[in-house]
Each structure stands twice: as structure tokens, then as C-alpha cells.
Amino acid sequence: MNTCASAPEPASPLSVDAARAFLEQAGRAQALPVESVALDDALGRVLAEDLIVERPVPPFANSAMDGFALHGSDLPAAGERRLRIVGTRLAGAAATIPVQPGECLRIMTGAPLPEGADSVVIKENVRVEDGHAIIGAGERPGANVRPAGEDFRSGERALGRGQRLGPAHLGVCASLGRSTLAVVRRPRVVLLTTGDEVVMPGQVPSAAQIHNSNAYSVGALLRQAGVERGAHRHVADDARALRAALEAAAAEADLVLTCGGVSAGEADLLPAVVADLGTVDFWKVRMKPGMPFLSGRIGPARICALPGNPVSTFATFLVLVLPFLDALQGATSTVVLPAHARLAAPLRKRHDRTEFLRATVAPRADGTLEAVALDRQGSGMLRGVAEANALVRIEADQHELAAGTAVPVLIFTLSGSLSP
């Protein structure tokens, strides 16, 4: 094994909130450029413009149901009323026949309301005889009409910059007539996993090796976060090889993400190599799992070095890396849902770090969320993450928590469900 300069002595570990705030500020300072994409390609992207409504949605008053358009004043208070049917209007038809008192127009859902009409009676409530509509008492004036601008008014902001675009947002953009959108360029991320003790799936491990799970779990987290991901590379515990891999990754990425080799063991080369190539902003965070987390820079690229234990890697990505990626894109919404839930059972913590426990979160009968911490909490046990759908946050100064205590949770729903 080749060696390099000794690792920098870490200052006092940062709190979770201080580390997150630093990374969010770093992301904002490293803001990515804007590009134009087709609406079909905008899912998961972060909007870089305010969408102002130019034409009301809907642009005209229209029928909300299949039925008969008429004057509300013609509706009977008692008994029945006969109205002459003067025509039919289909959705999409531009021509119209005005409706006079004592008349009605057969109308389909989405068709513009004819001149003079202000109400629609659904067809199921109308009897047709000899070219007349027979309408009984109990109908409400103004019913079943969608007014112009009911969804969005002209001049209104429909979506704001920073919105991460989901399926419904793309529908809104389409309803405004937008075929292209200004969005933030996807972050370019290179993932490096390290260590002589891991081999890729498909390879036969020795008696002292395990398979590389981080390459796939972190790779999936990056895809979910909407990044443009470079090729994954695995690097042996060799200082020269690690240096070359970091230099190459930093030359092409906005973020270099590493897994393993960041603690204080003999084979943990990353802190020293990063300090030699660039700067280390902080090393170690008061959290469990995931204390040996490093943030620094190599040239223009940010480097976030995650621990190698799979659960530590997972937790530090959600708690620290994802906020950086959101800030880098100017996102005001995240792919992970922060919420609060009540503990199903009491919890005890002996240390003074902020802890993130794998848990299942589901709604209770009263509509509140309940968190059940899993029994398997070891930092090397991916099974606990696979069975969870959330991380429960226990603050550094909390040691005894009673059942029913409300705690912050990060709901990621990668495998679990919020179904009761």
C-alpha cells in the first residue's frame, strides 16, 4: 500500500445542523447554470423560472358535466318547467347559439357556456319530450359551471422557480401551453467507492472480502435525486490510485462522492489525499451512524466523503448530501419528505450525538403518523434500511424518549409504504 502525507487533524466534530447549513450554503454558492429542455424531458428537474399565466385556465366558462345549459332564473322553485332545446354544443366547438329565457342548449363536458346561460343541469336530472327539456325543482342556479380562470387567473404565478417538477407540475405547464421550460442543469456527480475488502457483484470474493453494495444503493439515491451521474469507479486502498481517481473525477464533476476510507484507520487514505489535492472544510459530524463524514473541495468540485458502512453511507447521503444537491439546483422542494411522527415505543440513547434510526412510519387511526424503530440498527446492516421507509431523528441532548413523543422523521419510501 502506498502512503501519502498524514491526514489532517480534525477539529471538533460539527453538529448535524451546522454541517448541513455549511453544505447548503456551499451549494448555493456553487449554483448551476440554466438550460432549456422539452416538457417531456422535465420530470424531476428544478424549474429555473417563474411561470406566469398569460391566458386564463380555463380561458372561458365551460360546462363541468354533460347536460343542459340554461338561465338560472328559469329553474323552478316547485313542480317542473319545460324549456325548448335550441341546439347542441360539443366540447371544442367554436360556434354557439345564444340561449334566451325559456330555452336551453344541450351541452357536453368542457364545451364553452353559451351566451345567456349561467347554469347547467346534468342530463340524468332532465327528461326530454318533443324537443323540450323537462326540469324539476331542486336544481341550483350556477351549478356545474367552471368559470373562466377557475384554475389559474391571467397574471398569476402558476409555479415558482425552485420547484422540483413532478407529474402534476408538468400537467400545469402543458395547460399553460408551455412546450419547453428553463430548468437548472442536472448536477454532474462521480461516485467513487474504495477499499480492498470489496468486490463488485458478479466477481467471486475471497474469504476476507464482501460485495460492493454502496455502488448500487448510492447510485440509486443519486438517480432518485435527479443528477447526471458519471461512471462509477472503484479504487483500491492505494494513495496514488486514489489521487489519480479524485483528480480525474474533480475535473468532470460538480460533486465527487466517495464511499469508504474516510475514518482514522491505517487504510483510510481519503482525508490526507483530499487535503493534499485541495481543501478540507470539515471532517467528522456528531451523528450516528455516519460520524466520519468529510466535506472539501478539489478545484471547482465539491467532495463529500461518506463512510463505508452501508447504513452510515445511506444516512449521511439523506441528511447531508441531498441538501447540498438541492441547494446546488436552487430547489425549494426535496425528494425526501420531512415530517413528524409519534414513537410507538420508548427509546433510550446513551451517547451525545444526533442519531438517525431506521424506522417504519405509517398513519394511525387518528390521522397522525406513528414511527416504529426497527430492531436491526447496526451500521453495516442494509437489511434495516431495506425494511424501513424513514429515518427517525433523535437529538444530541435527548436520552430518554417516552412512547408517544413526537420526533422529526425523514420519509424516503424507497421500499416501505405509508399505507396503514
Q: Are 179 and 190 contained in the same domain?
A: no
Q: In Å, what is the CA distance from 246 to each residue of 22, 251, 255, 263, 391?
A: 22, 9, 11, 17, 31
The reply to whether 1 falls in a domain is no
| pLDDT level of residue 95 (50, 70, 90 thresholds) | confident
Q: Are 221 and 302 contained in the same domain?
A: yes
DSSP one-letter string for 361-372: EEE-TTS-EEEE
Quote the number of domains for the chain.
4
CATH classification at residue 158: 3.90.105.10
What are the residues whose beta carbons fall under 8 Å from the beta carbon of 4, sequence distance 6 or more?
A: 239, 243, 269, 272, 273, 276
Q: Are 215 and 165 contained in the same domain?
A: no
The reply to whether 23 falls in a domain is yes
Contact 241, 235 (CB under 8 A): yes
What is the chain's mean pLDDT, rounded?
A: 92
- DSSP state, residue 319: I
Neighbours of 358 (CB within 10 A): 27
Contact 209, 199 (CB under 8 A): yes
The reply to whether 216 falls in a domain is yes
Position 120: which residue type?
Answer: V
Mean local confidence (pLDDT), 48-61: 97
Q: What is the per-residue pLDDT for 413?
A: 66
The reply to whether 6 falls in a domain is no
Of 303, 284, 301, the residue nearest 293 (C-alpha): 284
Q: Is residue 28's pLDDT more than 90? A: yes
As a whole-number percent, the residues of the chain with pLDDT over 70 amount to: 95
Specify the range with the lowest mean pLDDT, choosing from 8-17, 293-302, 320-329.
8-17
Q: Is residue 418's pLDDT more than 50? A: no
Mean local confidence (pLDDT), 130-142: 97
Q: Are 131 and 118 contained in the same domain?
A: yes
Final residue before a domain boundary, out of 305, 328, 351:
328
The reply to whether 419 falls in a domain is no
The reply to whether 11 falls in a domain is no
Neighbours of 135 (CB within 10 A): 21
Mean local confidence (pLDDT), 172-200: 96
Backbone angles phi, psi at 360, to 5 degrees: -105, 130
| pLDDT level of residue 10 (50, 70, 90 thresholds) | low
Q: Are 21 and 89 contained in the same domain?
A: no
Mean local confidence (pLDDT), 249-274: 91
What does the alpha-carbon distance between residue 10 and residue 293 come to, in Å, rounded to a whole number? 11
Using a cut of 0.75, tell me whether the model's pTM lies above it.
yes
The residues facing 9 across adjacent strands are: none
The reply to whether 388 falls in a domain is yes
Q: What is the per-residue pLDDT for 337?
A: 83
Q: Are 361 and 297 contained in the same domain?
A: no
Q: Are 265 and 136 contained in the same domain?
A: no
Contact 401, 407 (CB under 8 A): yes
CATH classification at residue 89: 2.170.190.11
What is the span of the domain harbouring residue 66?
62-146
Q: Are 212 and 135 contained in the same domain?
A: no
Q: What is the per-residue pLDDT for 94?
A: 81
Angle CA 393–337–370, to nearest 5: 55
Q: Is residue 165's pLDDT more than 80? A: yes
CATH classification at residue 407: 2.40.340.10
Q: Is residue 416's pLDDT more than 50? A: no
Q: Are 237 and 253 contained in the same domain?
A: yes
Angle CA 195–324–411, to nearest 5: 90
| pLDDT level of residue 2 (50, 70, 90 thresholds) | very low
Q: Are 99 and 205 contained in the same domain?
A: no
The reply to whether 141 falls in a domain is yes
CATH classification at residue 307: 3.40.980.10
By CB atoms closer than 10 A (0-12, 13-18, 19+), residue 269 is buried
By CB atoms closer than 10 A (0-12, 13-18, 19+), residue 398 is middle
Mean local confidence (pLDDT), 326-344: 91
The residues facing 88 across adjacent strands are: 106
Q: What is the per-residue pLDDT for 8?
A: 62
Mean local confidence (pLDDT), 211-221: 93
Final residue before a domain boundary, out of 308, 328, 348:
328
Q: What is the per-residue pLDDT for 57?
A: 97
Neighbours of 265 (CB within 10 A): 10
Contact 166, 180 (CB under 8 A): no
Q: Are 341 and 398 contained in the same domain?
A: yes
Q: Is residue 77's pLDDT more than 70? A: yes
230-240 pLDDT per residue, tens: 779 999 999 99
Final residue before a domain boundary, out of 328, 350, 369:
328
Q: Are 227 and 237 contained in the same domain?
A: yes
Contact 59, 148 (CB under 8 A): yes
